[in-house]
């Protein structure tokens, strides 16, 4: 019996080893380091206190605000686009949108930063066209290198990602439900309020949480665009890893990382709950 179970799970051994080495060990190192005084090696809450105050606390606030904006807005836009595509009746359009979304959702980092600098930077192509029309967005408060600019960049890959993750939920809305609602005299609004909406809400909220997690942990694109001038937690952690640290605060970066782990863990718990609720209707 025991040998049979071991054989059944033996195929998971490579993945388990991989996950432990590249996920488990780093998490353990972060947790231990967050509560360790780098000078004495003794237990301390000093790293946590520093990470939860001043510019580091503001980094968390900015990261959360940016993540909320770039999760909710793309979530709504992605839902609308996915619904339009799904109800269009064109299989060719669905294939094109699905393929394009898969490409754009994975396009990020330095390449994406360069794309937006070349288009929406102070000397970018789109900005040049607007200047030729007599409107300079940089004279009206816009900047690619601020909160608003970074949010626009994030939406470039967040909207396609939302389309990908919400499409299965839209496909799970059975035509028979709409037909039954119509036969009972329900209007379109009543159908969405009483049938379609309640079924989609768990999937929509779960998808938004997924977008939040992706935006909260994003690093390369913002770093390439702002060179660290925008105070968000991933960039602050990157500064510690690059050696930009005061004496005695070597483990503050690990405390910041622990905070991110806690936030992402909470997000994933809610995501799992919502996915379980959504799966009851999408089987």
Taking alpha carbons only, the member of 214, 218, 210 closest to residue 112 is: 218
In whole angstroms, give the CA distance from residue 120 to residue 114. Answer: 10
DSSP 5-66: HHHHHGGGHHHHHHHIIIIIHHHHHHHHHHTB-TTT--B-SHHHHHHTSHHHHHHHHHHHHH
In this predicted structure, the answer to whether residue 283 has a pLDDT above a threshold of 90 is no
Least confident of 70-74, 94-98, 100-104, 229-233: 229-233
Q: What is the pLDDT of residue 41?
A: 86
Domain map of the chain by residue range?
15-279
What is the CATH architecture assignment of 15-279?
Answer: Orthogonal Bundle (1.10)
pLDDT confidence tier of residue 247, bands split at 50, 70 and 90: low
Residue 227 pLDDT greater than 80, yes or no: no
Q: CB–CB of 66/151 below 8 Å? A: yes
**What's the rounded mean pLDDT across residues 228-256?**
84
Q: Residue 174: which residues within 8 A CB-CB, separation 6 or more?
A: none
pLDDT in tens, 127-138: 999 999 999 999
- pTM (two decimals): 0.89
CB 55 within 8 A of CB 191: no
């Amino acid at each position: 019996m025991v040998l049979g179970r071991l054989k059944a799970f033996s195929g998971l051994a490579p993945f388990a080893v991989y996950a432990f080495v590249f996920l488990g060990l780093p998490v353990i190192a972060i947790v231990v380091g967050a509560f360790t005084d780098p000078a004495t090696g003794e237990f301390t809450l000093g790293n946590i206190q520093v990470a939860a105050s001043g510019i580091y606390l503001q980094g968390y606030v900015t990261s959360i605000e940016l993540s909320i904006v770039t999760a909710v807005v793309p979530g709504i836009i992605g839902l609308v686009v996915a619904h339009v595509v799904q109800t269009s009746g064109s299989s060719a359009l669905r294939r094109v949108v699905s393929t394009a979304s898969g490409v754009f959702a994975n396009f990020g980092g330095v390449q994406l930063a360069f794309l937006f600098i070349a288009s929406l930077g102070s000397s970018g192509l789109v900005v040049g066209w607007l200047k030729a029309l007599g409107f300079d967005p940089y004279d009206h408060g816009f900047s690619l290198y601020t909160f608003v600019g970074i949010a626009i960049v994030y939406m470039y890959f967040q909207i396609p990602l939302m389309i990908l993750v919400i499409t299965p939920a839209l496909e799970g809305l059975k035509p028979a439900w709409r037909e039954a609602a119509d036969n009972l005299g329900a209007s379109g609004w009543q159908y969405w309020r009483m049938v379609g909406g309640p079924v989609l809400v768990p999937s929509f909220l779960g998808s938004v949480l997924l977008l939040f997690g992706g935006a909260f942990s994003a690093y390369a694109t913002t770093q390439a665009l702002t060179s660290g001038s925008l105070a968000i937690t991933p960039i602050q952690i990157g500064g510690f890893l690059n050696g930009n640290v005061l004496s005695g605060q070597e483990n503050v970066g690990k405390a910041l990382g622990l905070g991110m782990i806690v936030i992402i863990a909470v997000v994933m718990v809610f995501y799992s709950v919502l996915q379980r609720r959504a799966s009851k209707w999408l089987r």
